[in-house]
Structure 1
Amino acid sequence: MGATDQEDQLYWNRFRNGEEVAFSWLYQRYVRVLYSYGMKLNRDSDLVEDAIQDMFTDLWRTRSQLAEAQSVRFYLFRSLRRKIHRSLRPDTELAQPFDEGTDLWQPTLASVEASMISDEEIALQSSRLKSWLTSLPARQYEALILRYYQDFSYAEIASIMNISEQGARNMIQKALHTLRRLAIVLSLCFLGIGWLLKIFFR
């Protein structure tokens, strides 16, 4: 467990014991990143803001019933996703269902040559990548966000998105396969989609 996780757990336990300062600390620490994640799930800013406020309100109301959290960040992300999902109209889905299928492509991370790409080339490819990401199915895009921006493990992504761990792996691999295919079609020189995503989402 890293120092950040230990600090989170310290404040989480103090919050569970009714300490308002600890609760405020957790809110200030995570509200922006939760909002950013929520907006990836639904572009209705009012809905996302309400979901975050409702989630923290529920946390405070039920604080004495909460258990210790092995990862506070994971707990909050999963809780927010469920809250947003439940806030949608009955005829609206958070994302399209995904057929887990089989492994599609095992991404190769950047080689040593990646460090030689110029800043201009990185900026150009990042711009193209941004437009391609928005064209991905919503659940694939969300999985990439959780993996490359939030650094969640496949097991954590599976739990957050309510799918199997293999399903999470397949979903990310399918998204990476699509991005790589687009790069090849347009004759672009990607020296590692995973590496570029790390730069794009940092």
Structure 2
Amino acid sequence: MGASDQEDRLYWNRFRNGEEVAFAWIYQRFVRVLYSYGMKINRDSTVVEDAIQDLFTDLWRTRSQLAEAKSVRFYLFRSLRRKIHRSLRPEDEYTKPFNPEADYEQPTLDSVEADIISEEEIEIQTTQLKSWLTCLPARQYEALLLRYYQDFSYSEIAAIMNISEQGARNVIQKALHTLRRLAFMVCLLGIGWGLKFFYS
């Protein structure tokens, strides 16, 4: 377990014991990334903001009943996703296209690109990757985000998205297959580049 996870758990337990400073720390640490993730699920900022407010209100109200969290980040992501989806009509789910450029906090691409490109190509390829991501179906994009940008395991992604672990693997593999096809098309045009990430 990383140092940041240990620190999260420390503040989580202090918050469970009623410490307001610890609660504020958790809010400040996660509110931006939760908003960014929420906007991937629903493009209505009001829905996302209300869901985050409800989430933290419920956390404080039920703090004494909460269990220890093995991963605070996982708990918050899963809880927010449930709140957002409960507020949607079935036909509204995954109907709005994603636009990474419009996110409140764009997830970093550095950890992904460091393995596949040289320093001088980062700017060009970051732009290309963002463009390709917008071509993915919303569900595939969400799964890819959770796996490669938030570093969740397949089992955690399955729990967050309320699907089986094999289902999570399948969704991600479909997304990577789509990206590989796009990369191959670019290579045919003579402007391709190495894609070790897509084959990892």
TM class by shorter chain equals 0.7 to 0.9
Q: Deviations over 1:99-127 (max 9, x none)?
A: xxxxxxxxxx9998x45x352x3322221
* C-alpha spacing 1:30/1:118, structure 2 compared with 1 (3 Å): closer
**Can you list the C-alpha shifts for 1:29-59, whole angstroms capped at 9, x where unaligned?**
1001111111111111111111101100011
For the structure 1 residues 110 and 85, does the alpha-carbon distance in structure 2 shift closer, same or farther, using more than 3 Å as the test?
closer
User: Which consecutive segments of 4 or more residues in structure 1 shift more than 6 A?
Assistant: 109-112
Match of 1:16 in 2: 16
CA 1:110/1:54 → structure 2, altered by over 3 Å: closer, same or farther?
closer
Q: TM-score, with normalisation over the residues of structure 1?
A: 0.82
Shift of 1:90: 4.6
Q: What do the CA deviations read for 1:120-159 (whole angstroms, capped 9, x no partner)?
A: x332222122122112111100011101111111111111
**2:132 pairs with 1:144:** no
- Preserved CA contact (<8 Å) 1:39 1:48: yes
SS in 2 for 1:68: coil
Give the number of aligned pairs: 181
CA distance in 1, matches of 2:87, 2:78: 14
Percent identity between the aligned chains?
74
Other-structure match for 2:184? 184
CA separation in 2, counterparts of 1:36 and 1:193? Answer: 27
CA distance in 2, matches of 1:34, 1:70: 18
TM-score (norm 2): 0.83
- Name structure 2 gaps, 5 residues minimum: 97-111
RMSD (Å) for aligned C-alpha atoms: 2.4
Residue 89 of structure 1 and its aligned partner are, at CA, apart by: 2.9
Q: Could you say if the C-alpha distance between residues 44 and 140 of structure 1 is closer, same or farther in structure 2, counting changes exceeding 3 Å? A: same
| Deviations 1:56-101 (CA, angstroms, capped at 9, x unpaired) | 00111111111110100000000000011111135422469xxxxx
